[in-house]
């Protein structure tokens, strides 16, 4: 059948994200995966011209939210290892658990993560983990958009792992109807040597791939690194032109003098993970300074085991509140900036410039928020304020990705939720029992 497109009518408000303006009482047409038209309800065409229509009365439309740093399958470790600092948490709890993960476990852990992301309004995410071909299966089936990379720890993965991760990146780039793209992902400067990182830099350049890495996350890590190498991790990477590729740097909490200039000059894209940084006691990234220097800052949840969920709405609230409290200045980071970090900036970080804003011609990755849901609450002085400062992700009603309705009235259409809960519970318990 000839596809006639989707009409979304009676939209209470549209927040385009690329400008602060709010459009009221609108309709929007999706055709061929893209936003075809946005206009006032006064000129709304007849419903008969469309194959599907959504009545968005009482709902506001936003670009889909973008999670620029996570490890989806770590949902299996939710509540398994809390209240510990990064290195102890990784070495004593997380890495032993991960050593027991099968590829099927990663499939179901990723499914649990993707289910949670979709229901909470996330339309694209960046994932660094292992068995990413299995994660890609989940992405393809679910309808979400993702930037996938095999994480590399040199002592575990070596040259063979590097080769496999490159093969994965080349084979899966632009798959799932273009919804999957790929990167290379050395885990961190403290788990990969200079030679290994230099090789990855070269392979990324040769194959036009971006690079995803954990960078300067904790104070102890940066201090240790300086003791070993005499320079900061950022300076160290800059010495062999690591930042010349498109870089997605997660965390970037602790800077040394000179680091900011490198981040700025080389257009490094930052995934700020305020909840994970708070929970692991890592610190507060100086994102006010990054934004002032025009460095691109987006938001990530990090893995569930250090968060402990994938809700970008509460992540955004934490991002704003931490800057306000840390600088004794409530004017820092307003709701429009939060919206930008979650959408346009996220799209830039992930090299997905066709998404991240509501504009004719852009990809139709959109979410509807129900202003009448319990979690949104009343009164409605300012809907963006209620969303980021009062609500949680239960206000997400509809999720559209690549022009397809994936979540409708809060229910997922593409995945079997009960089966995912059952498998995740069973698999997480099995591993935890073995480690007792
Ligand atoms: N091939 C590697 C897998 C690396 S995936 C990425 C890794 O990052 C770990 N990780 C998760 N959160 C953080 C964080 O906040 N900082 C550093 N590493 C993290 C995660 O547990 C996983 O081991 C291996 O054989 O271990
Ligand atoms: Zn991480």
What are residue 66's DSSP bridge partners? 124
Specify the pTM.
0.98
Same structural domain, 164 and 231: yes
Task: Kindly identify the ligand whose nearest atom is closest to the C-alpha of 160.
Answer: 1
331 and 378 part of one domain = no
Q: Which ligand is nearest to the CA of 306?
A: 1
17 Cα to the center of ligand 1, angstroms: 32
Q: Is residue 235 part of a domain?
A: yes
pLDDT > 90 fraction of the chain, expressed in percent and rounded: 98
Do 89 and 145 share a structural domain? yes
b/e sequence 221-244, b meaning 16+ C-beta within 10 Å: bbeebeeeeebbbbbbbbeeebbe
Is 206 within any annotated ligand binding site? no
Residue 435 lies in a domain: no
pLDDT score of 417: 98
> Which ligand approaches the C-alpha of residue 73 most closely?
1
pLDDT single digits (tens) 309-332: 999 999 999 999 999 999 999 999
Give the per-residue pLDDT at 113. Answer: 98
The reply to whether 29 and 128 lie within a common domain is no
155 and 248 in a single domain? The answer is yes
Spacing, Cα 191 to ligand 1 middle (Å)? 10
Structurally, the chain folds into a number of domains equal to: 2
Are residues 303 and 220 part of one domain? yes
Element (H, E) at 401: strand 396-401
Q: Is 98 annotated as a binding residue?
A: yes
Give the pLDDT score at 73. Answer: 98
Tally the residues of the chain.
Answer: 436
Report if residue 294 sits inside a domain. yes
Q: What separation in Å is there between the alpha carbon of 346 and the centre of ligand 1?
A: 21
Task: Please check if 31 is assigned to a binding site.
Answer: no
Burial class (CB in 10 A: 0-12, 13-18, 19+), 32: exposed
∠ CA(144), CA(149), CA(150), 5° rounding? Answer: 130
User: Which of 190, 185, 328 is CA-nearest to residue 246?
Assistant: 185
Main-chain phi, psi angles of 145, to 5 degrees: -105, 140
d(CA 318, CA 362): 29
Closest residue by CA, ligand 1 atom 26: 153
Instruction: Quick: pLDDT tens for 374-403.
Output: 999 999 999 999 999 999 999 999 999 999
SS3 of residue 326 by DSSP:
helix
Asked if the structure places residue 425 within a domain, the reply is: no
CATH at 272: 3.20.20.140
Residues 6+ apart with CB under 8 A from 145: 123, 124, 125, 139, 179, 180, 352, 355, 365, 401, 402
What is the structure's pLDDT at 319? 98
CA of 305 to the centre of ligand 2 (A): 10
pLDDT value of position 14: 98
Instruction: Render pLDDT for 337-352 as a digit per residue (tens, 0 to 9).
Output: 999 999 999 999 999 9
The residues near 171 (Cβ < 8 Å, ≥ 6 apart) are none
pLDDT of amino acid 4: 80
Q: Which residues line ligand 1 (CB under 6 A)?
A: 71, 86, 90, 94, 98, 128-130, 151-153, 156-157, 187-188, 214, 217, 276, 302-303, 306
**How many angstroms separate the alpha carbon of residue 313 from the centre of ligand 1?**
24
- In tens, the pLDDT along 246-299 reads 999 999 999 999 999 999 999 999 999 999 999 999 999 999 999 999 999 999
The predicted structure's pLDDT at residue 48? 86
> Is 310 found in the same domain as 240?
yes
Residue nearest to atom 21 of ligand 1 (CA): 94
- Same domain, residue pair 57 and 75: no
Ion ligand 2, residues whose Cβ is below 5 A away: 302
Domain of residue 290 covers: 65-349
Residue 187 known to bind ligand: yes
Cα(87) to centroid(ligand 2), Å:
12
Q: Tell me how far apart the alpha carbons of residues 287 and 320 are, in angstroms, rounded to a whole number.
A: 10
Please tell me whether residues 41 and 136 are part of one structural domain: no
Cα-to-centroid distance, 401 and ligand 2 (Å): 25
**pLDDT bracket for residue 1 (50, 70, 90):** very low
Mean pLDDT of the chain: 97
302 is in an annotated binding site: yes
Does residue 2 register a pLDDT over 60? no
- Is residue 100 predicted with pLDDT exceeding 50? yes
* Whole-number Å distance between alpha carbons of 247 and 253: 16
Residue 40 shares a structural domain with residue 126:
no
CA dist 22 and 165 (Å) reads: 43
Q: Going by CA atoms, what residue is nearest to atom 17 of ligand 1?
A: 214
- Out of 73, 103, 105, 214, mutate this one to test ligand 1's pocket (max ligand atoms within 8 Å of CB): namely 214
Annotated ligand binding at 254? The verdict is no
Distance between CA atoms of 309 and 291, rounded to whole angstroms? Answer: 26
| 323 and 282 within one domain | yes
Q: CATH number of the domain at 36, please.
A: 2.30.40.10
User: Has 49 been labeled as part of a binding site?
Assistant: no
Res 47 pLDDT > 90: no
Let me know: does 364 contact 34? Beta carbons within 8 Å.
Answer: yes
Query: Do residue 141 and residue 191 come from a single domain?
Result: yes
Helix, strand, coil in percent for the chain, rounding step 5: 45, 25, 35
Tokens of 266: 């080389």
């Amino acid at each position: 059948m000839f596809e006639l497109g989707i009409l979304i009518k009676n939209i209470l408000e549209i927040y385009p994200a690329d400008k602060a303006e709010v459009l009221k009482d609108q309709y929007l047409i999706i055709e061929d995966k893209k936003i075809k038209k946005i206009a006032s309800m006064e000129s709304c065409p007849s419903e008969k011209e469309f194959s599907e229509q959504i009545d968005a009365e009482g709902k506001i439309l936003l670009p889909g939210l973008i999670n620029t740093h996570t490890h989806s399958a770590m949902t299996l470790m939710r509540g398994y290892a809390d209240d510990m600092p990064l290195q102890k948490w990784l070495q004593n709890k997380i890495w032993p658990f991960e050593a027991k993960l099968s590829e099927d476990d990663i499939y179901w852990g990723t499914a649990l993560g993707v289910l949670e992301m979709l229901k909470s309004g996330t339309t694209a995410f960046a994932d660094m983990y292992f068995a990413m071909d299995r994660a890609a299966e989940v992405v393809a089936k679910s309808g979400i958009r993702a930037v996938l990379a095999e994480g590399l720890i040199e002592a575990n993965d070596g040259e063979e792992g590097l080769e496999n991760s490159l093969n994965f990146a080349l084979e899966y780039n632009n798959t799932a109807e273009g919804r999957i793209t790929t990167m290379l992902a050395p885990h961190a400067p403290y788990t990969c040597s200079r030679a290994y990182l230099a090789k990855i830099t070269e392979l990324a350049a040769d194959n036009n791939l971006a690079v995803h890495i954990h960078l300067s996350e904790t104070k102890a890590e940066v201090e240790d690194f300086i003791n070993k190498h005499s320079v900061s991790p950022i300076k160290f990477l800059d010495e062999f032109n690591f930042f010349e590729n498109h870089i997605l740097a997660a965390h970037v909490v602790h800077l040394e003098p000179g680091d900011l200039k490198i981040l700025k000059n080389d257009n490094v894209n930052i995934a700020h993970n305020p909840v994970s940084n708070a929970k692991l006691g890592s610190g507060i990234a100086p994102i006010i300074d990054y934004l002032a220097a025009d460095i691109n800052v987006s938001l990530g949840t990090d893995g569930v085991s250090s968060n402990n969920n994938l809700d970008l709405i509460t992540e955004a609230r934490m991002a704003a509140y931490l800057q306000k409290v840390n600088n004794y200045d409530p004017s820092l980071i307003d709701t429009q900036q939060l919206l930008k970090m979650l959408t346009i900036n996220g799209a830039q970080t992930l090299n997905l410039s066709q998404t991240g804003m509501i504009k004719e011609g852009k990809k139709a990755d959109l979410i509807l928020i129900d202003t009448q849901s319990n979690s949104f609450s009343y009164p409605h002085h300012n809907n963006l304020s209620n969303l980021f400062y009062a609500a949680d992700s239960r206000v997400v009603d509809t999720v559209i990705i690549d022009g397809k309705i994936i979540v409708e009235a809060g229910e997922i259409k593409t995945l079997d939720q009960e089966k995912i809960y059952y498998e995740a519970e069973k698999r997480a318990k099995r591993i935890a029992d073995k480690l007792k």
